[in-house]
Amino acid sequence: VRQDGVGVCGTVMAISSVPVAGGLKQHSQQLKVKLWRYYKLVVKRLHKDGPM
């Protein structure tokens, strides 16, 4: 379960560091928001499962 959290974090960081052009910019913003919400959900679940 912990590896999932790390993987999500890495994915978010990778997407954040990818330069986006023109019309893709807004779409990537929405994608980042979705990923961030998912990431927070995963973190919450990890804390519920027990100490990290």
Please check the confidence at residue 37 and state whether its pLDDT lies above 90: yes
Instruction: Say if residue 20's pLDDT is above 70.
Output: no
**pTM, full prediction:** 0.41
pLDDT at res. 1? 53
Residue 30 has pLDDT above 60, yes or no: yes
Annotated domain spans of the chain: 2-49
Q: What is the mean pLDDT of residues 29-33?
A: 86
Given a cut of 80, whether residue 7 has pLDDT beyond it is: no
- pLDDT band at residue 31, thresholds of 50, 70 and 90? confident
Beta-carbon contacts of residue 39 (< 8 Å; ≥ 6 apart): 5, 8, 9, 12
51: alpha, beta or left, given left = phi > 0 and alpha = psi -120 to 50?
Answer: beta
DSSP secondary structure code for residue 18 in this structure = S
